[in-house]
Every structure is written in structure tokens, then in C-alpha cells.
Structure 1
Amino acid sequence: MKDQYDYIIVGAGSAGCVLARRLTDAPGVRVLLLEAGPEAHDFWLRTPAGMARMMHHPKYNWNFETEPVPTLGDRRIYWPRGKTMGGSSAINGMVHIRGDRRDYDHWEALGNPGWGWDRIGKLFDAMENDITGPAKPRLGGPLNISHAAVIHPTVHDFIAAGRALGLRYNDDVNSGDIEGIGLLKFNIRNGQRQSSYDAYLAPVRDRANLTVITGAHVTRVVLNERTAKGIAAVLPDGQHVTFHARGEVILAAGALNSPQLLMLSGVGDPAELVRHQVGVVHALPGVGANLQDHFVSRVQVRVTPGSSYNKSLQGWRKYLAGAQYLLKQSGYLALGSSPAAAFVKSHPDMAYADVEISFRPMTFGFDTRGGVAVHKFDAMSASVYRVRPSSRGRIGLHSSDPRQPARFEPNYLATDDDIAAMIAGIRAFRSIIAQSPLRERVVAEMVPGPDVRSDEQLLDYLRADGQCAFHPAGTCKMGPDAMAVVDCRLRVHGIDRLRVADASIMPVVVSGNTNAASMVIGENAARMILEDARHQRTVAAA
């Protein structure tokens, strides 16, 4: 064994950085944090508008791709995932949405005590420094939350149009009730991205009880008689090393990589492991199952001059925007992805909103190299997706080689409910843009287009054009049932001293963007780990 630590955390992403911070808050606890990607030292990582450059970045992005999806005409769907300190929180759109209180109460009702809103809501309060001025201030946490640096007049018209249709104005999407229409919030501070690394780990990076190794590709968990003893990894220089954990190993590699690591370590569905010549250490069929992701459809609309900020990012104006950002850290380069959203029910019988319509007064496409290219004409757009899809996919192995990506089978639009909800969401956005005062800005719908009206036509459009919203979850689900991978304390069923703490443990994906929920999973995991360690010491001393 090369070295020994109390806790080894695999993955310095949204949850992993939170875990490392909270565990090392205890001075006597020695933590090793391993990250496959490089350090997050790049101007465009810190700049909110840099998310466009990160979309296919070979250094900071895993650039994953799914298997052909039968329900989408066998298209492969591109899945970006962050590969640097902060993980996907270093390259995403920075939208900060907790989800609905009923999401977490549902987790608890599924047999997971300690995950209901009464506890999780307080953990959100403790992690946030929300300067947007909600009725009940949430100040003092490490993660800074703000509204968009520029709120275009068209955004206000979008909200007004939704209210005119009868949607409730929601002045705080993070109150625990997502339903309604209003402004979104972002992990942005003084015009700079606040990844989980920036907020949690960078301020304490020099702690004596914290060791961080970047460029370390973990190949497996070292198991001995169904007990995690450490991890095996390959360092950037090609050296194969093993690190020993006196306490526990915690997988925080994300919903795509954590299940792969379990399978490579011999924990998973026996049929899958045997197929790829991986020795079965412990049969756990739920590993990689229960894959959920938000399948997204775009609607793009041409608008009147001045109703979009597309042209502010073209020609000489983009240099002006750049100068404004460099001098004041403000303007369009300080923006996150979508400044406002509507959360609506796809059907009146839904218990609470199940469709998100994220709105932005700009549009973009992709150039021949896959880069993001802002359109040169005035236009606005929405991303429509069902926040609690009923379709389930799975993750498997392509081979026993840890350097090979896993096999991703998302199974989008596999249920009639998901199809109906997506179509309802597109229609809901069309109703909003047809309502004053927004309709006065509309010239014509571009995508999917005014001739795409029937359910059949809209379904064809979804299958031909829909993409992922970059929110995979659920592949190491938490619970007491036969397909659960971890228990309510995030301990892997049947394996001692091994936990999983990232978006993979969600039994059901949260109602909205998943980054905030991933961070709060890290918060709750750290508290549970320290609570359990204190309990063990008390028992040993008795």
C-alpha cells in the first residue's frame, strides 16, 4: 500500500468537493481526493459564457456518447460530463435549482429516512449564500447564488405572458415549491462561475489533512472479503498505485462513472460481469440500472429587432461585451444558461409540476466542429423537458478495460407518459409566446416550425431532434429494495466500508437541474459518514 487515509473520495465533482470539504472540517480526519481530470486553471472555466467552449472541450470534458437509441431512430446522443476539479459544475450552465420538496419527501417515503425535505431543506440553507433577496434570506453558506447579470426586457415579457395565462408567479424557485413562472438562480459570484470546487474546496486546498491528486484514473475498488480496503489507480506518469483507506472508500464519480467502477470492482449484475470477464465479488443487479435523464426539446422563435441579445454577441459588439466582462465582470459574458423558467403540469391530474420550460432571449446552433455558434439574427428559445421522466435506461460495460467508457443506454421516450408530457410542454410554450406582451415580439416559429402541429408530427420532431439535458441520475439508487445499490446511509449493500455519494443514488431524479441536488447529497453524505464514525467510536469505547 502506497499510503493510508481515513477516507478516500473518488471524483472531485459536484458532490466530491463538498464531501472533501466537510470531512476535512474535522481536523483529525485525513482525506485523499482523486480526480481523473486536470486542475481547473482556465479563464473560460471561470467565465460563465465559457460553458459554450466547454461543450466539447477535449481536456475538461469526457465527451461521452450513448449507444444508438432505438426510440430516437437509433441516433447516438452526445453526453458532456465535466472532467476537472468541480466536475460537471465546472462546465455546466450554472442553474441552481433545488427541486421540489415533494421530490425529497418521496425519497424518504421509498424507505430512505434522513432524506426528506425537513432535513434536506436545512442542508440547502446551510450550503447557500443566496443574495437574491428571497422572503427568508439564506446567507452564510459557501455557495454563492445570484440572479442573471443581465435580465433582458424579453425575459420580463415571458414572465408576464405566463402570468397572463394563469401561471403563478414564483419569486423563489428554491422555496420547495417549483410550480409557476419566474427568474432562475445561478452559481455565479461577481461575474464568475462558482463550481463546487470554487465554493467548497479552493478556499481550504492547503489543509494539512487533505491530499488532492489530479490526473489519477481510478481503475477499481480494492476489495477483500467484501470489505473495501482502498483503491487502485493509474497516475499521470503511468505509475500504477494503490491507496489504503483506514475508514471508508466513497465513490463520487458521478452517475455514469460510479456504477462503472463498481462493476469493474466485481460488484454488479453477475451476467454483465461474466460477459466481460470480470470476477464476481458481490451480486448486486441494480448497479447501472434505473438510469434517468432529462430528455430535452428545443423551440426557437424569430423575434423583432431588440428582442434578443444574439446580435450583442456578433461582430464588433462581441468585443464590447468582452471588454465589459474583463473590466467589470458583468454583461452578457457573465450570464448562465437560462434566466427564467416555467414549471407546469403536463396534465391536470399531476400532483405537481412535471415539465420545465427554460427560457432564454437568444438562440444558437452548432458549427461543423461541434462548437456552439450564436445565431446572427434576432431570436429567442426554450428548452422543454419532463423533470420526472418515467422512462428508465441502464449503464453496462463495453469491456473490462477501465480506460474505456461504459455503455450508456438511456431509453428516452420509452413510455407514453413521457411522450405526452413532452408534447404538452411544447404546446405550453407555444401558448406563452402567443400571449401578450410576449406575442408582440414574435415574428415566426423556426423550430419545430409552424407546420408541426399534430401529436404525430411533434413526436417525429422529438425523435429526430431531441437531446439530453445533461442530468443523468439514478444508476446506484438508494433504497431497501432488491434493485437498490446503497442504503439510506449511502453504504453499498453487501460491501463494508464502501459508499456512493453523487447523483447516481437518486431513486427518482429531482424536478429540475441536478447540480444543486448533487451538492446537497455531498452535504448529507458527509454528515452521515461523520455521525456513523462517532457512533462506532462510542460503541468501541463502551
Structure 2
Amino acid sequence: METFDYIIIGAGSAGCVLARRLSDNPAIRVLLLEAGPPADKFWVRTPAGMAKLYFHDKLNWNYFTEPMPEMLNRRMYWPRGKGLGGSSAINGMVYIRGHRQDFDTWRALGNPGWGFDDVLPYFKRMEHFERGGDAYRGQDGPLWISDPVIRHPASADFVAAAERHGIPRTDDMNGALHDGVGFMQHNIKHGRRHSAWMAYVEPVAQRPNLVVRTGCMVQRIVFDGRMATGVSVISGGETRVLQATREVIVSAGAVNSPQLLMLSGIGPGEELQRFGISPVALSPGVGGNLQDHFYVHTSYRSTRDSSYNHEITGARKYWTGLRYLLTRSGYLALGSSQVAAFVKSRPEEDHADLQISFRPMSFTYHGNGLVEVDREPSIAASVYRLRPAVSGTVRLRSLDPLQPPLLQPEFLTHQGDIDAVISGLRQIRRILATEPLASRVVAEILPGSEVQSDAALLDYLRQHGNSAMHPSGTCKMGSDPLGVVDERLRVRGVERLRVVDASIMPHVTSGNTNAPTMMIAEKGADMILHDAVAHCPRQAA
């Protein structure tokens, strides 16, 4: 039986950080398991290749929600990364930490050590910020963070138009001023995607004390009583048990981490009973508190010089591709959105509860997952509510870990969420109707100028709303009865088992979730090393 000190389940945004930090000590033997394949492909490393990965048959779990009554019984597509780097290998590469208040709220909910001042050093430790370090930013970390290589004039005009509506300009949304409008930063290094795998593990993959295995699906965590001692995996059609003498760490993400805990006997009693799973520890919060950002897209026909659609479609896309191959610059080196505005849906909000993103190009999202750049000159903006009022669930579909779980996000079931997103749509319209941006707009395509009333806009949300790919919270950290892990990310009710990924967030952060997920792993690695238990000679059951 193979034995390691630590077994990490999932080589995504959190798992890669953990593998690097734990294996920094050559005396510690680390195993990093990934269900998917290696992700060393041209379109993975090329920033604009994200559209080709959105429905990839090998690098994406390609999940769907259950039918949602409030959304015309639609089954919404939920892409999740599957492969080295996880979702950081297929996402839009946007780097947003979130608002200071997000983390102070985590601390106030009974999680000491998780306030903004506590986590800031970990954000800084992971960053190599292109502009240099300061009180808020790091420069010596492994993760490269850059500004857009092209600042399109239409994007600059969006910032100027938003300022005219009283939204303050910020030169660094990850610095002193989060709420405001400005250019986004991305995990892009010299024109190439810098995923968690590329930043953290690829440079040290030859370490003798670090073993990385792809194509390994973990069936369950193995226990001796209430002590986690290893994992049972399926690899190459065979089932094997691997032993962890110190800890098993679950970093499979907000969908798969609760699924694995339940399959291993940790979860709500009724869910375990429904599938005849012998309980190891009853934990009613597992799979609950599913939070995500409900996202809605708008697009506008524009003047030709306001959009770069023509640069990445038709015959010109070959010139753009050649430019990228020769220089690693141009439009193929850009992330998903250029500019963001963090704004309030209503004056009573304490701080911004909406994120509006703008891009000087547009695409059509097809129901089968295909994303296609529009051929006509167009620009686009999207909005989502940062702090949703409701949460959903992840539940088991089958005892087979290869079967997708049941996803029920409960979108559009709370009037506050609906009102906030509709406010965001109206704010997008006001900004795009303001100079210097207004003269770039020819016509509104989506939702369409005829869609004006709240009822009509709600119908649009039901038909066109989607996930922003930010699921979180399903193994939440907390001291209340629904808390799955404690403030040191240890699973309550068992020993030598932690969850370290976006699923531990008590509330989803105010923005894209990749950066805070990696921060969680940076902090989690320090906790694991500090709490290291003595070598245990027990064999897995």
C-alpha cells in the first residue's frame, strides 16, 4: 500500500497551492490527485481560448442544474474545470479579491483569524503584481497578475461614462478602493494564462517528495473509526487504497467536495440514509449553503472602432492569431472582461452589491454550451448581485462518484435578488447612454430597447440568466450547527480531515472567486503545517 504524509484531493485552484506549500518541506511526502487529465494545451494557455474550453469534453465536468421552476424549468449549464489547474485552467482569469467587509463578516460569524487584516498577508504572499508591491499588493509570489495588454478606447470610455454617474475611478480594485470603476487585472503572464497549476506546481513538479496523478477518481475517504487514514481511488479501471499518515485534504471544489464527503459518510442524516451510506459523522450543513453569482448578459450593436469582434472572426482572425504566436500580445492575450464597476443597487446598501463588467466585444451563448463571437461590431456588459439573499443545495444523485450530483441553486427565488439585478440592468443602460460611450452605441440588442418594465426584465432574466461560475459555501466554515469545518478548516466530528477550497466560504465574496479560493489555500497550508500531527503507523481500514 502506498503511503504519503498528505493526500490532496483535487488539483484545482486550492489543491495546487496546497501541493506547492506543503511540499516546500522536503521531509513531507505529498500526493496530489486529480480526476481529470493534464491541461497543457494551446487553448488552455492562450487567454482567448476560454471560449473553446467552456464546453470541453475532457477539461470540463459539464454539469447542469436540476430544472428550476423560477427559470422556466431550465436546466442551467454549470461548467467546472476538470484537469490540472481545475477551474483556473478554463475561467476568464479575472483577479478580484473581494471587499474588505466580506472577510470581516466571515470573522464576525465566529471564524477568528479570517478578517481582512488576517487574510491580507496571504493575498500578498501569493501575488506577483506586475506594477510592484505596496501596502496592499505583493510582488514576490508565484501567481502573476497583470493589467490588460490592450486598453481598448471603448473600455476607457465606459470608465469615463461611469464616473459621470458618480462612480469613483479606482486604479486598483485589489488595493485601497474596491468599490468603483476601473480596468480589471488578470492571471496572465507574458500573454499566457497563469493557472494555479502553472503558477504553483509546474515549476516544482519534479520534486521527489511531490507525486501528481491524473485520471484518479476518488470514490471515498477511508476511515478507521472517525480518523481519516486514506482514500479509495479508481485509476485505469482498478480500485486502490492509498494511505495518508497525517491528513487527507479535500480540495475538490464547491460541487465535488460535499459530494465526496457524503459518499464517505459525512453529511445530513436523511441524505446518507436515502442511499444506505453508513454514517461516520452526521453533519447537516454538508451540501447546503450553495451560493453562486446569478449572471445576466447584455449586448449592444456598436460602431466598428468600438468593438474588436472583427479582429477575432472572419479572415482577420488568422492575422490576429499570427500576431499572438509571434508576440504573445494582441486580442488573444486578453482576459474575459476589460473593465468592472462595483456599484450599489440602492442607496441603502452599506457597500457595493453589484458587479458590472464591460467588454469591447460580444458573443452569443448557445444553450448547448457553445460560445460564439458575434460577427457584427458589438459591445457587451453583464451584471450580477455580489451577496445573494438565498442559497441552494448540492445533493447526491447516485452512489457512483462519476455521476454528477444534484445541483439546485435556487436562483430568482428572492425578490431582493431580482430587484438588485434589474437595478443593475438599468444602470448598464444609463452608463451606455452617457458620453463619451453613448456615441459608440448604435442599438441595444439584448435585452432590447422594447424590454422596459420590471416584469419584462424579469422575463429576460428567466430566459437568459446563467451562472457566473462562482459556486461556493457548500462545506461552510462556522461554529453554528450547519458549520462543516472549524476556523482551521478541520471537518467537525472526525479527525485528520480538512476541506480547503471555495466550499468553506460562509458567504461568497464580492467578485470573482478564484483569488479568494487561492488565498484560502495559502492560509490553509500554514494551518496544516502548524497543526502537523505525529506520524501515525496505522494501516487504512
Number of the residue aligned with 2:87: 88
How far did 1:182 drift? 0.3
User: Does 2:526 match 1:494?
Assistant: no
Number of the residue aligned with 1:115: 114
Number of the residue aligned with 1:127: 126
Number of the residue aligned with 2:138: 138
Amino acid at match of 1:202: E
How far did 1:132 drift? 3.5
SS in structure 2 opposite 1:306? helix
Number of the residue aligned with 1:347: 346
Number of the residue aligned with 1:383: 382
Matched residues in 2 for 1:316 and 1:525: separation? 48
Matched residues in 2 for 1:176 and 1:412: separation? 32
Amino acid at match of 2:221: V
Q: Deviations over 1:271-305 (max 9, x none)?
A: 01111222222111100000000000111111112
What does 1:101-500 correspond to in 2, within 5 Å? 101-132=100-131, 136=135, 138-175=138-175, 177-235=177-235, 237-366=236-365, 370-500=369-499
Matched residues in 1 for 2:132 and 2:531: separation? 36
How far did 1:176 drift? 5.4
Amino acid at match of 2:129: D
The answer to whether the 8 Å contact 1:149/1:334 transfers is yes
SS in structure 1 opposite 2:416? helix
Q: Deviations over 1:8-41 (max 9, x none)?
A: 1000000000000001111211111100001112
The answer to whether the 8 Å contact 2:245/2:535 transfers is no
Number of the residue aligned with 2:539: none
Amino acid at match of 1:184: M
The answer to whether the 8 Å contact 1:98/1:176 transfers is no
Amino acid at match of 1:199: A
Matched residues in 1 for 2:10 and 2:80: separation? 12
Check 1:366–1:417 CA distance in 2 against 1; reply closer, same or farther (3 A cut): closer
Matched residues in 1 for 2:352 and 2:326: separation? 41
Check 1:250–1:41 CA distance in 2 against 1; reply closer, same or farther (3 A cut): same
Amino acid at match of 2:168: R
Q: Deviations over 1:400-439 (max 9, x none)?
A: 1111111100101221110111011111111111111000
The answer to whether the 8 Å contact 1:99/1:176 transfers is no
User: Does 2:42 match 1:43?
Assistant: yes
How far did 1:177 drift? 3.8
How far did 1:493 drift? 0.5
Matched residues in 2 for 1:103 and 1:47: separation? 32
Across the aligned residues of Structure 1 and Structure 2, the Cα RMSD in angstroms comes to 1.4
Matched residues in 2 for 1:433 and 1:134: separation? 34
Matched residues in 1 for 2:58 and 2:360: separation? 30
Amino acid at match of 1:317: R
Matched residues in 1 for 2:484 and 2:367: separation? 41
Amino acid at match of 2:54: M
SS in structure 2 opposite 1:413? coil
SS in structure 2 opposite 1:533? coil
How far did 1:94 drift? 0.2
Q: Which shifted more, 456-465 or 526-535?
A: 526-535
SS in structure 2 opposite 1:315? coil
The answer to whether the 8 Å contact 2:246/2:534 transfers is no
Amino acid at match of 2:80: R
The answer to whether the 8 Å contact 1:100/1:176 transfers is no
The answer to whether the 8 Å contact 2:12/2:252 transfers is yes
Q: Which runs of 4+ in 1 moved over 6 A?
A: 534-537
Q: Which runs of 5+ in 2 are unaligned?
A: 537-541
How far did 1:138 drift? 2.5
The answer to whether the 8 Å contact 1:70/1:411 transfers is no
SS in structure 2 opposite 1:29? coil
Amino acid at match of 2:163: R
Amino acid at match of 1:83: K
Check 1:424–1:270 CA distance in 2 against 1; reply closer, same or farther (3 A cut): same
How many aligned positions are there? 535
Matched residues in 1 for 2:276 and 2:81: separation? 29
Matched residues in 2 for 1:483 and 1:536: separation? 31
SS in structure 2 opposite 1:358? strand
The answer to whether the 8 Å contact 1:101/1:117 transfers is yes
SS in structure 1 opposite 2:417? helix
Matched residues in 2 for 1:315 and 1:435: separation? 31
Matched residues in 1 for 2:535 and 2:224: separation? 21
Amino acid at match of 1:214: T
The answer to whether the 8 Å contact 1:101/1:177 transfers is no
Amino acid at match of 1:430: R
The answer to whether the 8 Å contact 2:226/2:280 transfers is yes
The answer to whether the 8 Å contact 1:145/1:189 transfers is yes
Matched residues in 2 for 1:252 and 1:532: separation? 18
SS in structure 1 opposite 2:171? coil
The answer to whether the 8 Å contact 2:12/2:87 transfers is yes
Check 1:441–1:476 CA distance in 2 against 1; reply closer, same or farther (3 A cut): same
Amino acid at match of 1:350: E
Identity of aligned residues (%): 53
Q: Deviations over 1:495-518 (max 9, x none)?
A: 100000000000000000000011
What does 1:7-18 correspond to in 2, within 5 Å? 7-18=6-17
SS in structure 1 opposite 2:315? helix
Check 1:177–1:108 CA distance in 2 against 1; reply closer, same or farther (3 A cut): farther
The answer to whether the 8 Å contact 1:277/1:400 transfers is no
Matched residues in 2 for 1:223 and 1:201: separation? 29
Matched residues in 1 for 2:264 and 2:340: separation? 42
The answer to whether the 8 Å contact 2:219/2:260 transfers is yes
The answer to whether the 8 Å contact 1:502/1:518 transfers is yes
Number of the residue aligned with 2:53: 54
TM (norm. structure 1) is: 0.97
How far did 1:134 drift? 7.3
Number of the residue aligned with 1:519: 518
Check 1:155–1:56 CA distance in 2 against 1; reply closer, same or farther (3 A cut): same
Q: Which runs of 5+ in 1 are unaligned?
A: 538-542
Q: Which shifted more, 182-191 or 448-457?
A: 448-457
SS in structure 1 opposite 2:298? strand
How far did 1:371 drift? 2.4
TM (norm. structure 2) is: 0.97
Q: Deviations over 1:166-204 (max 9, x none)?
A: 110011100154211000000000000000000000011
The answer to whether the 8 Å contact 1:298/1:383 transfers is yes
The answer to whether the 8 Å contact 1:128/1:142 transfers is yes
SS in structure 2 opposite 1:404? coil
The answer to whether the 8 Å contact 1:54/1:91 transfers is yes
Check 1:284–1:135 CA distance in 2 against 1; reply closer, same or farther (3 A cut): closer
Check 1:389–1:286 CA distance in 2 against 1; reply closer, same or farther (3 A cut): same
Amino acid at match of 2:268: D
Number of the residue aligned with 1:23: 22
SS in structure 2 opposite 1:341? strand
Number of the residue aligned with 1:540: none
SS in structure 1 opposite 2:364? strand
The answer to whether the 8 Å contact 2:365/2:371 transfers is yes
